Structure 1
Amino acid sequence: MIRKLRDTDNQEVMRFLKEEAALNLFIIGDIEAFGYDSDFQELWGYFENEQLSAVLLRFHNSFIPYAKNDKLPVNEFTEIIKAYPEKVFLSGKSELVEKFENIAGLELGKKQVTYFAECSTDSGLEETDLDILTASPEDADRIIELRTQIEEFYPNPNAREIFLQSLKSGTGRTYFIERDGIVAASASTAAENSMSAMIVGVCTHKEYRRKGLATAVMQKLFKDVMAEGKLLCLFYDNPEAGRIYKRLGFTDIGQWTMYR
C-alpha cells in the first residue's frame, strides 16, 4: 500500500530514515524544516504488512526515493513522478534510482554519477586569515550568478527560490570570498538537519582559480558546521576535487546518481 505521509507518521518515518542517516540527510532535513504539509513538499510511504519499507520525497520539482535492501516500489513511485507537470530532477542512492531508467513515459535528464563522502573530524582543517563572508538574502543574485558560470553545475529554474528558502529556514548557509566587487569563491550547505549537513555549490570564479580561495571557504564552513556537532556529507565526481576532500578528512561511503 502506498499513501501520503502525515505528521502522525513522523516517528516511524524518522526511525526508518535514520538507519542510513547520511544517505537520507536531504529527506530528514526537509522534513525537519518543512514538515508534511506544504505546497512545495510532499512525502509518500510504501507499506508492507503495515511496516514502512520505502519513502518518496518531492521538494519543488526534485524527487528522492529511498528504500532499504533495494525493495523499491518502482512502478508505484514512477506513477507519482510522472503526474508532476514540470520537468523533474531525480536523485538518490545509485542502486535505487537507476531502477527508474528506461521506463516508458518517464523523461529523465542527463545522468551524473558521483561519489558520496562523509566527514566527522576537523583534524585535517587549517585556519585562514582571509576575509570570509556569510551570505545574506541580499547576496543571493551574486551567488547564483557565479554558479551559472560553472560548467559542471546544472541550473535549476527554482535556484533562487531554493537558495532564499534555505537561508530563511536554516537548512542551508553560504560562505564566500569577495574580490574586486564580485564573488570570487563560494561554498554552501544544504539539507542541514539536527545531525548532518550536505556541502554543495563549491565553486570559484574562473579568474580566481588555483589560489586556494575555495579551500579556505570550505575549511571555514566545515569548522563552523562541525562545531555544532554535525556530520558533513558531499558529492564529487572530479578526481582532483576528491583528493582535496580526502585531505580534509572525507571518506567515500557510496555512490549517488542524479538525473537533471
Structure 2
Amino acid sequence: MIRKLTDQDHHQVIAFLSEEPSINLFIIGDLETFGYSSDYQEIWAEFDEQNTMKAVLLRFHQSFIPYAIGEFDTSGFISIMKKYNQPVSLSGKSEIVEKFEATGDLILGKKQVTFFAECLMDECLRAEDVEYKKANIEDVDKIIALRSSIEEFQIRSDARDILVQAMESNTARTYYTAENDVITSCVSTTAENSMSAMIVGVCTRKEYRRKGLATAIMQKLFKDVLDEGKTLCLFYDNPAAGRIYKRLGFKDIGMWTMYR
C-alpha cells in the first residue's frame, strides 16, 4: 500500500531514513525544514501488510527522490510522478533510481552518475592560516558571479533565489576568501539538517588557483560542521577532486544518479 504521509508519520519516516542518513540527507533536510503540508513538497510511503515502511518518494517542486530498502512498488511511484510535468527530474541512490529508468515508463532528463562520499571525523584535517569570512545575504550576488564564471558549473536561472532561501532557513552556509572586495574562492553546504550536510560549490577564480585557498576554507568549514556532530557528504565525478577529498577524510559509500 502507498499513501501520502503527514506530520503524524514523522518519527516513523525519520527512523526509516536514518538507516542511511547520508544518502537520505536531502529528504531528511526537506522534511525538517518544510514539513508535510506545503504546496511544493509532498512525501509518500509504501507499507507492507505489517505496516512496516518499505520505501518513500519525496516531491520537492518538480524534483523527486525515492528511497527503499529491498524491493518496492516501482510502478506505484511512477503513477504518482506521471501526474506532474515531464521530463521528470529524478535523483537518488543509483541502484534505486535506475529501476525507474529500466521500466521505460517515464520521460527522464539527462542522466549524470557521480560518486557519493561521506566524512565522519576530522582526524585528517589541519589548521590553515588563511583569512576567510562566512557569507551573509549581502554576499549572494558575488557568490553567484563567481560560480557563473566557472566553466564546469551549470548555474540555474533560480540559483540566487535558492541560495537566499537556503541561507534564510539555515540549511546552507558559505565560507569564502576575498581580495579587494572580490570573492576569490568559496565552498558551501546545502541541505543541512540535524544529522548531515552536503558540500557543494567548491570553486576558485582562475587567477587565484593553485594557492590552496579552496582546500584551506574547506577544512575550516568541514571542522565546524563536524564539531556540530553532523556528517559531511559530497558528490564528485572528477578523479583529481576525489583524491583531494579522500585526503581530507572522505570515503566513497555509493553512487548517486541524477536525471534532470
Q: Within the alignment, does 1:147 sit opposite 2:147 as a pair?
A: yes
Query: Structure 1: where are the runs of 5+ without partners?
Result: none
Structure 2 counterpart of 1:62, one-letter code: S
Alignment deviations for residues 28-68 of structure 1 (CA, whole Å, 9 cap, x no partner): 11111111111222111122212221111122332111001
**d(CA) in 2 for partners of 1:173 and 1:128?**
19
How much does 1:119 deviate?
0.8
Label 1:158 to 1:116 Cα distance change in 2 as closer, same or farther (>3 A): same
Query: What residue number does 2:251 align with?
Result: 251
Q: How does 1:222-233 map to 2 (within 5 A)?
A: 222-233=222-233
**d(CA) in 1 for partners of 2:149 and 2:127?**
28
Q: How does 1:19-30 map to 2 (within 5 A)?
A: 19-30=19-30
Structure 2 counterpart of 1:93, one-letter code: K
**CA RMSD in angstroms, aligned pairs only:** 1.8
Query: What residue number does 1:64 align with?
Result: 65
Q: Within the alignment, does 1:51 sit opposite 2:52 as a pair?
A: yes
Query: What residue number does 1:240 align with?
Result: 240
Label 1:133 to 1:6 Cα distance change in 2 as closer, same or farther (>3 A): same
Query: What residue number does 2:173 align with?
Result: 173
**d(CA) in 2 for partners of 1:153 and 1:53?**
36
**d(CA) in 2 for partners of 1:208 and 1:98?**
39
TM-score, structure 2 length as denominator? 0.93
Alignment deviations for residues 142-162 of structure 1 (CA, whole Å, 9 cap, x no partner): 212222233333333432222
Query: Structure 2: where are the runs of 5+ without partners?
Result: none
**d(CA) in 2 for partners of 1:161 and 1:106?**
29
How much does 1:76 deviate?
2.0
Q: How does 1:43-122 map to 2 (within 5 A)?
A: 43-49=43-49, 50-69=51-70, 71-85=71-85, 88-101=88-101, 104=104, 106-122=106-122
* SS of the residue 2:18 aligns to: helix
Query: What residue number does 2:204 align with?
Result: 204
Conservation of the 8 A alpha-carbon contact between 1:72 and 1:96: no
**d(CA) in 1 for partners of 2:54 and 2:241?**
35
How much does 1:132 deviate?
1.1
How much does 1:184 deviate?
1.6
* SS of the residue 1:19 aligns to: coil
**d(CA) in 2 for partners of 1:88 and 1:137?**
31
Conservation of the 8 A alpha-carbon contact between 1:115 and 1:252: yes
Query: What residue number does 1:11 align with?
Result: 11
Label 1:87 to 1:101 Cα distance change in 2 as closer, same or farther (>3 A): closer
**d(CA) in 2 for partners of 1:131 and 1:180?**
13
**d(CA) in 2 for partners of 1:72 and 1:208?**
49
* SS of the residue 1:20 aligns to: coil
Conservation of the 8 A alpha-carbon contact between 2:78 and 2:105: no
Label 1:86 to 1:202 Cα distance change in 2 as closer, same or farther (>3 A): farther
Conservation of the 8 A alpha-carbon contact between 1:61 and 1:87: no
Conservation of the 8 A alpha-carbon contact between 1:125 and 1:223: yes
Percent identity, aligned pairs only? 61
* SS of the residue 2:66 aligns to: strand
**d(CA) in 2 for partners of 1:203 and 1:238?**
14
- How many residues end up aligned between the 2 structures? 259
Structure 2 counterpart of 1:249, one-letter code: G
